[in-house]
Structure 1
Amino acid sequence: MFDGEYQVTGRASGGTSEGPQPDRAGRLLGLSPSGFHEIAYVDWGPVDDIRPVICVHGVTRQARDFDHLAADLAASGRRVICPDLPGRGRSGRISNPDDYSLPQYCSDMNALVARLGVKEVDWVGTSLGGLIGIVMAGFSGSIVRKLVINDIGPFVSATGLRRIGGYIADMPTAFATIEDGEKYFRTVLAPYGYLADEHWRHLAIHSLRWEEANGHYAALCDPAIAKAFKTPWFYAPLDLWKYWEAIKVPMLVLHGAKSDLLSIDLTNEMRRRNRRADIFRFDDRGHVPPLVTPDQIKVVTDFLKAPPRDFSEVG
């Protein structure tokens, strides 16, 4: 059974989550140039599934964002692994902020796949998790068999990257109550679009941790991540087209029509440069469709459940 470590309990919030709960949790060690760090993950569904689904979150988010999607997939017999990237959620922080980078995240996720001991995975990546998925699927010998990219593309402008860095730099590190945290997340995540109150509460609860010694709720995101956006990785646009064009498996690109990071023109270019990609557009969402409502979940699960397509005539 899951040990409950990820629940925020007690205090003035009345804040335990009544949403879906994982079956198991685990940890492994990642390695950066500045040393080892822990990678935490939650684990859903049957352990004997030979092709688990890996769900990776966005730049300031954490594994429990995928609870509703993971519960649905687990109910249909799929194993789902949702990790916290380093510096987020219950994973350890990296001592040198310069190491918060795409190569490091790919290395950590490869270590996670190795821990699972499987030969194939499906991948669902939201924003930063999608960028990691593009690289992981684009490498020669990749074990990714289906790829879902949530509102990100293989090209991200330097302007967009700097905007994200500024947003992270302004992120509060602590909140007096869960309600204060929920108010903040409702504001900063407003591009998600309409969500029911219980969904907003779920997101807030799993984004915070009560710290008795300090008498407040701490945000589960290392503020030093903002410093990574000042490194040379982000002085120029992020260009992953070579990985995108090398992907040989079915892909589904989810697009929030109001997104400021993924444009319609870019989705068209993605389709043109790799015909294995299908595009699904949510007209009432921005960056990103949060994958918690039944209609959003169904789009993803239908794609993952569909039989393999014949790409024999695709170059």
Structure 2
Amino acid sequence: MGDVRHLTVLASDGLRLAVEDAGPRHGSDHAPLLCLAGLTRTKRDFYDLRDHFAFHGNAPRRVVLMDTRGRGESDHASDSSQYTVQREADDAAQVACALGMHNCVIVGTSRGGILAMVLALTRPGLLVGSVLNDIGPRIAGDGIARLQRQLPSSTLPTSWDEAAARVKASMGAQFPVFSEQDWEHYARLTFYEKDGRPTSAFDRKLLEPLSALPDGLPFIDLSGPFKALVTRPTLVLHGEHSDLLDGGTLNDAIAMGATARTIAGQGHAPSLRGDVLTVVEQFLLQHNL
């Protein structure tokens, strides 16, 4: 692996944001990638993507990963009111400004994709394209209900074997192609390690807005900001078994101008590894990004 620069960027309210900056900062003909993770996820979800685009191939490009506030190595906010998509989008813009990034392609998984939509409205000069990992112009109610059931559990696994078994039990139906090794890898991305044992990788106050949503919500409409995003080249990666991005929403995304690829055997959200990276690379090259 090549050089990865570990940085801290201050948000506008003083919270410290953990950032990794990889690949060439100057001289690349390709747009830099700014990677934004899901609701409770961290920048580690993008490590395979980072290595592929920053260090491999004939034309490496800059890849920047960040832990959004309340996740991973970034500071936690004092209360849940500071965990909004607008605040988190502002944090991403702050990171891009601090690092001198512009004309980026934002790679956003789930909530990270929503941040990309917000940035398309509020910071239109920041991005020239986007890759949305299992998020589109609506969030399906079935997926919201699952998250409301699964995420509030406050107990932590006592071992890494238990962690792998737990994520397999909760996500196995969405990822039938995963091997035992895949589940071990997924567990290591889902939890952090402290004293050799799994621990939470996110601030539990992040879940308060989710728990406040009414039961039986049919969907959350994101069509307005999605329309702003698809004025630029946009790839939507769709997990075949996803319960947050359903087939009807995917068709609407295509009708609105997005390119879409369904990732067989995976759910919400597809793992950014292996053949999925080839799909992303082909899209970027097709659009000269």
When the two structures are superposed, what TM-score results if normalisation uses the length of structure 2? Answer: 0.86
Report the CA distance between 1:308 and its aligned residue.
4.0
For residue 161 of structure 2, what is the aligned residue in structure 1? 179
State the SS of the aligned residue for 1:164: helix
Q: Indicate which of 68, 74, 80 corresponds to 2:63.
A: 80
- Give the distance between the partners of 1:234 and 1:111, measured in 2 at CA: 35
For residue 103 of structure 2, what is the aligned residue in structure 1? 120
For residue 9 of structure 1, what is the aligned residue in structure 2? none
1:184 maps to amino acid: R
For residue 264 of structure 1, what is the aligned residue in structure 2? 247
- Give the distance between the partners of 1:217 and 1:22, measured in 2 at CA: 28
For residue 66 of structure 1, what is the aligned residue in structure 2? 46
1:70/1:80 contact within 8 Å kept:
yes
Q: Deviations over 1:280-311 (max 9, x none)?
A: 1123221111112x2111001111222449xx
| Shift in CA distance, 291/25, structure 1 to aligned 2, threshold 3 Å | same
2:248 maps to amino acid: D
1:137/1:147 contact within 8 Å kept:
no
State the SS of the aligned residue for 1:229: helix
2:93/2:123 contact within 8 Å kept:
no
| Shift in CA distance, 234/217, structure 1 to aligned 2, threshold 3 Å | same
State the SS of the aligned residue for 1:176: coil
State the SS of the aligned residue for 1:169: coil
For residue 14 of structure 2, what is the aligned residue in structure 1? 36
For residue 285 of structure 1, what is the aligned residue in structure 2? 266
| Shift in CA distance, 104/126, structure 1 to aligned 2, threshold 3 Å | same
> Aligned ranges for residues 1-315 of structure 1 at < 5 Å?
23-31=4-12, 35-48=13-26, 49=28, 51-74=31-54, 75-76=56-57, 77-139=60-122, 141-157=124-140, 160-172=143-155, 174-190=156-172, 191-212=174-195, 216-231=197-212, 237-247=219-229, 248-272=231-255, 274-275=256-257, 277-292=258-273, 294-308=274-288
| Shift in CA distance, 160/142, structure 1 to aligned 2, threshold 3 Å | farther
| Shift in CA distance, 243/142, structure 1 to aligned 2, threshold 3 Å | farther
| Shift in CA distance, 30/158, structure 1 to aligned 2, threshold 3 Å | farther
Q: Which runs of 5+ in 1 are unaligned?
A: 1-19, 310-315
Report the CA distance between 1:227 and its aligned residue.
0.9
1:297 maps to amino acid: L
Q: Which runs of 5+ in 2 are unaligned?
A: none
When the two structures are superposed, what TM-score results if normalisation uses the length of structure 1? Answer: 0.80
- Give the distance between the partners of 2:214 and 2:66, measured in 1 at CA: 23
Runs of 4 or more consecutive aligned structure 1 residues displaced over 6 Å after TM superposition: 232-236
1:54 maps to amino acid: L
Report the CA distance between 1:95 and its aligned residue.
1.1
2:284 maps to amino acid: L
Tell me how large the CA RMSD over aligned residues is.
Answer: 2.7
Report the CA distance between 1:111 and its aligned residue.
0.8
1:168/1:223 contact within 8 Å kept:
no
| Shift in CA distance, 167/124, structure 1 to aligned 2, threshold 3 Å | same
State the SS of the aligned residue for 1:224: helix
2:31/2:105 contact within 8 Å kept:
yes
- Give the distance between the partners of 1:89 and 1:22, measured in 2 at CA: 21
2:77 maps to amino acid: I
Percentage identity across paired residues of the two chains? 26
- Give the distance between the partners of 2:46 and 2:176, measured in 1 at CA: 16
State the SS of the aligned residue for 1:175: coil
Report the CA distance between 1:246 and its aligned residue.
2.4
